[in-house]
Amino acid sequence: MNSNELMKRSIIACDDKRAEDIVGIDVEGISDIADYFVVCHGNSDKQVQAIAKNVKDEAEKNGVLVKRLEGFNEARWILIDLGDVVVHVFHREERDYYNLERLYKDAPLITLTEDVN
DSSP string, 39-85: EEEESSHHHHHHHHHHHHHHHHHTT----EEESTTT-SEEEEE-SSE
pLDDT tier, 115 (very low <50, low <70, confident <90, very high otherwise): low
- Summarised one tens digit per residue, pLDDT across range 7-66 is 999 999 999 999 999 999 999 988 888 999 999 999 999 999 999 999 999 999 999 999
- Summarised one tens digit per residue, pLDDT across range 64-77 is 999 999 999 999 99
Q: Count the residues in the chain.
A: 117
Q: In what order do the strands lie in the sheet with 20-26?
A: 68-70, 77-81, 85-91, 36-42, 20-26, 109-111
The sign of the dihedral angle between the CA atoms of 2, 3, 5, 10 is positive
Question: What is d(CA 108, CA 103) in angstroms, rounded to the nearest whole number?
Answer: 12
